[in-house]
Amino acid sequence: MTTEALVIASGGLSIPRMGATGFGYRIAEQFGHRVLPTRAGLVPFTTSGKHLERWSELSGLSLPVRAECNAASFSNAMLFTHRGLSGPAMLQVSSYWQPGDDLRINLLPDIDAQEWITSQRQQRPDAALHNVLADVLPRRFAQRIGDLEFGERPMRQYDPPQLKRIADYLSRWPIVASGTEGYRTAEVTLGGVDTDELSSTTFESKRVPGLHFIGEVVDVTGWLGGYNFQWAWASGHAAGEVC
Ligand SMILES: Cc1cc2nc3c(=O)[nH]c(=O)nc-3n(C[C@H](O)[C@H](O)[C@H](O)COP(=O)(O)OP(=O)(O)OC[C@H]3O[C@@H](n4cnc5c(N)ncnc54)[C@H](O)[C@@H]3O)c2cc1C
């Protein structure tokens, strides 16, 4: 069978149970295209060991954070899950993270933690730490931080080095991700058909006339917010104009 034009729109590897396959990558390679390594993006993090044991019972609880990794930074909600951490801030930053990378989570993204905790000690010397933390964090999380990390003493009993340790903890929560939930729940697939080998206006192959790659099979990945749909529709429209 022959055809003048062929548009590969078979998407990425995310959510195999909905029909995702590596078909498009195999076609690309068959025609000599470079396919950049693929991995799950916009995906929840998993934790293990003490990191999972300590926090998984807060599953369902969310709070605003700033999540940072490899120069990318997202201020949005983080959600505790029974496997680890999700929510928009974590999904976004997952696209910049690979195992072993440093993941920073600021639990008080809009507050100078050191100034705040120091002033709380002055203003509320008799208040228990977890009650003070509960003013800026969900109460169950505040209680657990007190229980697990810093005790439940009145504020006046925390000396300046201890207050600094609490502030550091809040502005850089020491959680370690063991991985991600992978393609099973990822919203996108990072990597794919190298854009250098495609026309930037029609997405036609520079190697094989008439062969186009559009949408997620291409090495283009957007943030949350509809950018991936937009890319799939816009690139499909552009290819369709010339096919
Ligand atoms: C749960 C979820 C939520 C998402 N939410 C958003 C969002 O809110 N905003 C946003 O912008 N993006 C979102 N995305 C990403 C977005 O859906 C994709 O980027 C977009 O649909 C990609 O379009 P596409 O046409 O390239 O591929 P797809 O929409 O993946 O379509 C590819 C099609 O090819 C089929 N296919 C694959 N292999 C074969 C084969 N061998 N034979 C036959 N058929 C095959 C697949 O079954 C599928 O139907 C989400 C993705 C998921 C999984």
> Do 21 and 112 have their domain in common?
no
Reading the block at residue 203, the tokens are 């997405």
Report d(CA 202, CA 211) in Å as an integer.
10
Q: Is 21 in the pocket of ligand 1 (CB under 6 A)?
A: yes
Pocket test for ligand 1, best of 7, 15, 187 (most atoms within 8 A of CB): 187
pLDDT value of residue 52: 95
* Residue where one domain finishes, among candidates 143, 161, 180: 180
> Do 223 and 168 have their domain in common?
no
* Residues facing 106 on adjacent strands: 66
In 10 A of CB 6, how many CB atoms? 14
Q: Is 23 in the pocket of ligand 1 (CB under 6 A)?
A: yes
pLDDT value of residue 152: 87
> Do 115 and 208 have their domain in common?
no
Q: Is 216 in the pocket of ligand 1 (CB under 6 A)?
A: yes
Residue with tokens 């993270």: 97
> Do 73 and 164 have their domain in common?
yes
Report d(CA 195, CA 95) in Å as an integer.
18
pLDDT by 10-residue block (mean), the chain, 243 residues: 94 95 97 98 97 95 97 97 98 97 96 97 96 97 94 95 97 95 97 98 97 98 97 98 93
pLDDT value of residue 176: 94
Q: Give CA separation, 51 vs 46, 55, 120, 175, 176, in Å.
A: 9, 7, 28, 6, 7
In 10 A of CB 107, how many CB atoms? 23
Domain of residue 191 covers 6-41+182-242
pLDDT value of residue 1: 83
Q: Which residues lie closer than 8 Å to 236 by C-beta, 6 or more apart? A: 7, 9, 214, 215
* Residue where one domain finishes, among candidates 180, 210, 229: 180
Residue with tokens 């019972």: 57
Domain count, the chain: 2
Pocket test for ligand 1, best of 213, 216, 235 (most atoms within 8 A of CB): 216
Q: Give CA separation, 126 vs 118, 129, 157, 241, in Å.
A: 14, 9, 9, 71
> Do 90 and 169 have their domain in common?
yes
* Residues facing 86 on adjacent strands: 79
Report d(CA 212, CA 235) in Å as an integer.
10
> Do 49 and 150 have their domain in common?
yes
> Do 61 and 133 have their domain in common?
yes
pLDDT value of residue 200: 97
Q: What pTM, to 2 d.p., does this model score?
A: 0.95
pLDDT value of residue 27: 97
Q: Is 100 in the pocket of ligand 1 (CB under 6 A)?
A: no
Output the CA 48–ligand 1 centroid distance in Å: 30
pLDDT value of residue 125: 97
Reading the block at residue 109, the tokens are 């993204």
Contact present, 36 and 219 (Cβ < 8 Å)? yes
pLDDT value of residue 177: 96
Residue closest via CA to ligand 1's atom 27 equals 11
pLDDT value of residue 30: 97
Question: The domain that contains 167 carries what CATH number?
Answer: 2.40.30.10
Give the helix/strand (H/E) hosting 171. Answer: helix 160-171
pLDDT value of residue 108: 98
Question: The domain that contains 217 carries what CATH number?
Answer: 3.50.50.60
Q: Is 226 in the pocket of ligand 1 (CB under 6 A)?
A: yes
Q: Which residues lie closer than 8 Å to 58 by C-beta, 6 or more apart? A: 80, 140, 141, 144
Q: Is 187 in the pocket of ligand 1 (CB under 6 A)?
A: yes
Q: Is 188 in the pocket of ligand 1 (CB under 6 A)?
A: yes
> Do 223 and 152 have their domain in common?
no
Measuring CA to CA, which residue among 176, 182, 179 is closest to residue 51?
176
Please provide the distance, in angstroms rounded to a whole number, between the alpha carbons at the two ends of the chain.
17
Report d(CA 26, CA 41) in Å as an integer.
20
> Do 61 and 144 have their domain in common?
yes
1 lies in some domain: no
> Do 50 and 134 have their domain in common?
yes
> Do 108 and 164 have their domain in common?
yes
* Residue where one domain finishes, among candidates 165, 180, 195: 180
> Do 123 and 190 have their domain in common?
no
Report d(CA 143, CA 148) in Å as an integer.
9
pLDDT value of residue 145: 95
Q: Is 17 in the pocket of ligand 1 (CB under 6 A)?
A: no
